[in-house]
Amino acid sequence: MPTNLKNTAAFSLTKTVKSHGWVQLEPWRWDGIYLSREDSIGPWQGSISVRQISETVLQIDTDFWVGSEVTALVKRWLSLDWDPRPFQALASEVDPAISEFLSAGGGRLLRGSCFYEDLVKTICTINTTWGQTKSMVSALVSLGEGRFPSPRLLLDIGFETVGKACKLGFRAQTLANATSRLMQEDKLTDDGSADEKQISYANLVAIKGIGPYSAAHCMVLLHDFSQLPIDSEVTAYLLESGIQPSSAAEYFSHWKDFPFLGYKLGRIVAKKNWIGD
Work out the pLDDT band at 9, boundaries 50, 70, 90: confident
Alpha helices in the chain (DSSP H): 13-17, 68-77, 85-94, 96-103, 115-123, 130-143, 151-157, 159-166, 171-184, 201-205, 212-220, 232-240, 248-251, 259-269
| 3-6 and 29-30 beta bridge pairing | unpaired
Number of other CB atoms surrounding residue 230 within 10 Å: 19
Question: Hey, what amino acid is at 125?
Answer: T
In the chain, CATH 1.10.340.30 covers: 115-209
Query: What is the pLDDT, as a whole number, of residue 8?
Result: 81
Domain spanning 3-83: CATH 3.30.310.20: yes
Tens digits of per-residue pLDDT, 29-72?
999 999 999 999 888 889 999 999 999 999 999 987 667 899 99
Helix, strand, or coil (residue 53):
coil
163-212 pLDDT, tens per residue?
Answer: 999 999 999 999 999 999 999 999 999 999 998 999 999 999 999 999 99
Q: Please list the residues that pair with 37 across neighbouring strands.
A: 48
For 216-259, give the DSSP string.
HHHHHTTT--SS----HHHHHHHHHTT--GGGHHHHTGGGTT-H
Model confidence at 266: pLDDT above 70:
yes
- The arithmetic mean of pLDDT across residues 124-140, rounded, is 97
Res 66: pLDDT: 62
Task: Name the nearest CA neighbour of 151 among 123, 122, 115, 126.
Answer: 115
For residue 1, the model assigns a pLDDT of 65
How many Å apart are CA 63 and CA 194, to the nearest integer? Answer: 25
**Eight-state DSSP code of residue 148:** P
Q: Is the pLDDT of residue 277 over 60?
A: no
Return all residues near 51 (Cβ < 8 A) that are at least 6 apart: 13, 33, 34, 35, 58, 59, 61
Is the model's pLDDT at 240 over the cut of 80? yes
Whole-number average pLDDT of the chain: 94
Domain with CATH 3.30.310.20 in the chain: 3-83
- Lowest pLDDT segment from 48-57, 182-191, 245-254, 267-276: 267-276
Give every CB contact of residue 119 below 8 A, 6+ residues apart in sequence.
178, 218
CB contact at 8 A, 208 and 180: no
Q: In percent, how much of the chain has pLDDT > 90? A: 85
Q: Specify the pTM.
A: 0.95
Q: What are phi and psi of 225, to 5 degrees?
A: -100, 20
Alpha-carbon span 207 to 215, nearest angstrom: 9
Stated length of the chain: 277
**What are the pLDDT digits (tens) for 74-119?**
999 999 999 999 999 999 999 999 999 999 999 999 999 999 999 9
**What's the CATH number for 115-209?**
1.10.340.30
**How much is the pLDDT for 42?**
83
pLDDT of 123 reads: 98
At residue 108's C-alpha, the angle toward residues 228 and 68, to 5°, is 125
Residue 276 pLDDT exceeds 80: no
Residue 129 is predicted with a pLDDT of: 95
Query: Does the structure show a pLDDT above 90 at 135?
Result: yes
